[in-house]
Structure 1
Amino acid sequence: GRDISDRKQVEIALRDSEQQFRTLTATIPQLIWTATPDGSVDYLSQQWADYVGLPPEQLYGWQWQNVVHPEDLANTLPDWKHSLETGEPVEIKHRFRFHTGEWRWQLVRGTPIKDEAGQVTKWVGTCTDIQSEIDAQALIQAKNDRLKLLSEMTNELLLNENSQSFLNTLFQKLSAHLNLEIYVNYLLQEDKQRLRLVAHSGISAEVASAAKTLELGQAVCGYVVQNQTAAVIEKALESTGFLAAALQPLGIRAYASYPLMVNNQAIGTLGFGTRTRDRFLPEELELMQTVSDQVSTALQRSQLVKALQQRAEELAQANRLKDEFLAVLSHELRSPLNPILGWTKLLRNGKLDATRTAHALETIERNTQLQVQLIDDLLDISRILRGKLALTITTVDLQFVISAALETVRLAAEAKSQQIETIISPIAGTVNGDAGRLQQVIWNLLSNAIKFTPAGGYITIQLSSEGATARIQVKDSGKGIKPDFLPYIFEHFRQEDGAPTRQFGGLGLGLAIAKQITEMHGGTIKAESQGEGMGATFVVELPLSQNTQNSVRTGNLALNTPPSALDAPLAGLHILLVDDEPDTRDFQAFVLEQGGAKVTAVASGFEALQALDQFTPDVLISDIGMAGMDGYALIQQIRSRLLHQDKLLPAIALTAYAREMDQQQAIAAGFQQHLTKPIDPDAFISAIVTLRQGEWRQIGSRKT
């Protein structure tokens, strides 16, 4: 009887203990479970069953796997089996399927109960819902990621000179944070009336092509720029608003567009869209707004940097053009002075016969007039730049002005066997203007045509009218104008060819002066050319008045003729003289011959090399600025040819390029001396004698 009583007491104690256990499991938030030593679950608290929405018997054994997320089982099962084998406590994080169907994170802990021998007799564990903690961590992580993204983006936008190129990369990073599939970037075109699609992602090429431009107010982006305000469209597929209408064909469910503001003006927009949800979270909208603000700042900085770079380039270009112009100016001023100075010295010595005297005077006069024209152009351009160019206004008959200009260039055209065709149509009215200045415009255009048209070419000047406008057209069959230079044809100090090898002389001021004078008369001037070798056409249009009086200024200009002669101790020397200017070459040859030298005079570097095949001169004298092959290239080729000769060929550079750097460049190229034009004949011969006597020193340029 006592054994039965003891057993009953044990059963009562077990029932009490079990009741206490169930009461405990019912009152704590954790889900309680127990398992046999082999891992088979044999008990689940009611909370456990309620949590997953299934009766416990459907979860016993190993059936609990059915409510664990399939992606998490790959880690859960190995960890659980490892603890079963080792008897070590287990701790696992995985997702359970909640009774609502959603997946929620659980922290699973299990502890073994062991007997005195250390063998596992039972497993007891808990499952704790940690979804709130996971969500909080995700929010913190998302915030940190957003801050990191903004930091990276700010650095990239500040460091990247082309912020536009960074936008696609930026969107890829942003879409990873916000689950976005669509991005568009529009910028205002120069006309400020339309937007141009400059970057996009998530839309087809066909859609992008159809939406490559938008009018202000058109679609979401056009609306945003026009109103300079952000637009957020949610539940777009259900909306009846006009902004949503543009999104619906693309299947976009939520869309946000932000204006890119620079100097308080919208210059474009960034748009973000998704096809997977109907709305954005507030923090997502805040991030998109911040990104747009940062891009706006970067675009503003980019515009400022570009403006500064452009200004720096313009200043550098202006300095280059100034240096080039000064070099050309020096050349153009010195070249005519050389025969003037030389022939004047010879005339003063009284050693010229009547024929040579007449030739000398003609050469001096022609080159003096060239100098006068150069100086006049310089004075005109100076007046223009200072706004001091004045006009004497009268009523002008353009037929008389054209006739006067033709008279001044006729000899120059005849010297090149060029034909000038004149087509004059009767025009109703005259021009109110300065006759002399208008003649200067036409003279400049005709002189330009003569200069750039080869011998035997043709030039046409035509006068016509249309309505209240007079039209003067000068057309030639010359070398034409390269397309890349055409926009700069009327700029001051700008020449298509400013190199030492340039074929045509002049300062390049004539067209700039012509443009300024034309515009001062309320007219326009333009240049047309199909390209190099295709000739050029210049058109001047001037407003007509109905007056019948006229006033015309005439002028004249002479061109080409040749020269020759002087005296000094150059007997026995054979000198090779290279210069592409006939007057200069003739004068220099005469000086050398008068000094007793035998002279072979050639007009180009190519002819000089051919002459070297026939003989080796005692001295080489060469110009620098020559067409085809300049003096630098010539001396380098000569030095290369004569590299193995025992004796170095003495060489003098005689040039109108007079800068210190020109002097250094000549010596570096292989000349022993650098002399500048104009040069005194005695100094010229003295330099040769000094060179021949072996005094290898540079003779300083004589300044006049």
Structure 2
Amino acid sequence: MTRFQDSILRRTLSMGTFEELCSLWRQLVEMGETESLLITQETILAEIPHPQAPLTREQFSLFLSPEFSALLRGTFDTIALCYQVSMSWDGEAIADFIDYLKQHLPPTSVLRDHLASFSGDQPFLVTPLQSFLITQIINILAPDSSADSQEIYTTAMVCKPVEDALRQQIAQERLLNQVIAQIRQSLNLSAILKTAVREVRSFLQVDRLVIYEFGQGTPPNSEYSQPFTSWGCVTYESKVSNSIPSLLNVVAEDGCFSHIPHYQEKYRQGAIVAIEDVEEAYSSSFCLNKFLEKYWIRAKLIAPIVVEENLWGLLIAHQCFNKREWFDSEKNFLGQIGQHLAVAIYQAQLYAQVQEQKKTFEQRVIERTQELRDTLIAAQSANHSKSEFLSNMSHELRTPLTCIIGLSGTLLHWSAQSKSLPLQKQQQYLQTIQDSGKHLLEMINEILEYSKLEAGKYVLSIQQFSLQKAAQNIHKKLRQEAVKRKINLQLELQIEPQENFFFADPERLQQILYHLLNNALKFTPEGGTVILRIWREGNEAIFQVEDTGIGIAQEQIPLLFESFQQLETSRRRTYGGTGLGLALTKQLVELHGGTIEVESILQEGSIFTVRLPNQPQRQLKSSDNLAINQSLSMGNRSIVLIESNEELATLIGELLTAANYQFIWLMDSTTAIKKVELFEPTAVILDQDLTDAYKISEALKASPKTKSIKVLLLSHQISSTEWTDISKRGIDDYLLKPIQPNLLLKRVNALMSSDDNEPDDRI
């Protein structure tokens, strides 16, 4: 009997079990990841011209690969109807079997050449699935229930190294699966990294295993002021003993790694570094050797953690008490752990981003909800205030109208009866009608003034005037009202002669003072005092109105200057008015760039203080604005559009009409010149090709009647060079399509308000 007949595993199997074993064997062969060779009884017999008996008595299957080789043999017992099965991983036994096969193969056989390339000394390295299949095969050939057999006992002793290798691989796979499962089931990165560090250290039987995380800039709590090109610190650690010094939060100096060129790039590309003896490997670096000695590092194995092609950190195993030779299986295993941890880190980063976005979104929703709630409350409050305002106005307007209509009707009645009232009675009625009319006019003017301010149509007329004269005029105007109400109205001028002249809008200033003084007189009882004080502080003029009236509650002061707000809201009102006086006053003060403040105590009185800045620099600008506004309001505001596109003409027409221009649309350009002469507009807008546009513009400029009409051209594209030529052909400005409403109105306003405007803000 030749040596290959001494099997490592041997057992008698039933036909069904043998078929199961053969099925597992076929799966084992199919799972090979590299080039392999499978030899069966059938492949050998196909190569032999005249089959010999030794090769036909049994079934065999020989699997050869660079990583793993095995031989399965089965002989059928025709009497017992079962198989005598053996399986071997022994390299020498496989080599003997290969020699035996070569003896029966012809010299020219291709299979013979393939067999010659396999020596039988292949390393034992299989895939995870192959490990699982081999374990199942061993369980069939050497179950625990047969352990008492001397033959199987001997077999198990021979097979012990193979089983140990298999168990090692299975343990690696189990730990990898544990890490993968935790990554899939948990988003808690800290828990994943802590578990991985602890389990991997235990599996590799190293003294310490750490995760070193890279940072940027200057490390926290560092004594170095200059930013490091790279730095990091240990964020997770597992030690076999507490006596081993901890590396947690330890920052390695950047200079210690300066002698290792591009070491980070090497790790980023996936390199795994194994150092058996750090003293020998880093003998040229005193700094690094000192650091490693301080923390008891004698040998180390390093695998990178690369997240999205960026080096996030390192997974480092330390041997602290002796040198260590690192096996390929250990390197590969640590590298695989690093790859799976990179997945966990990326997953956690995505989750953190999602959570941050969720938090931001929730905060925005809360803010928007609060804004909507505030807007709703403000709208409800404004609606209520307007309703109250309209209700009060109906009363305020009805009172003087009733007087006017009633007394004038009485006078008409007596006149119709050809009777006459006593002269004194007539004068009394007429005076009441006049006073009521004036009061009604004041309220209407107040409402109109406020509406103009709200619409932004108010323009100040800044000019120089005498503060003393303005104060005396307003004092004189309200003195009669004060006497009527039996209130002492005083004027205190604290102005030096050289400070008397001031730049502002004198008419609006008197309006401000009138509202403040009238308000003070209204809310001051008989025998009270109202004082107007005026003085200068540097570039500001201060106007102060103090009264001894009923005062204002502190919680109501913020409502004083709100639109449509009246502190007295009852239907049976003691004090009349629109309630817009102080709101209008505040608008006029702010239009001047000033401020208004209030101090008040209930039943003692109030003080209103207005500060206005001196603004001579606005005098010229204000005058120009007034001239422009007056010319626009008094002059011709008609515009002719020559456009064949109905939709575009409708859009332009709505824009110009909303801007208070008179709009005329002409579709036919052939008869446009005669119609333009008839309408005499201020401007013409052309949406024509250049040839027609030149004809119309040149014809308009050639006629004395239409030469002052401005021409605006609409076009898809005009370069600066083209504009130089176009502007010489009677076209004053152009606008590129598609039309932007704000730019169209800006160009039209410029043409309507200037005799010689150059195009600006080209689009």
* Higher helix residue share: 2
Question: Greater Rg, structure 1 or structure 2?
Answer: 2
Q: Larger RCO: Structure 1 or Structure 2 (Cα < 8 Å, ≥ 6 residues apart)?
A: 1
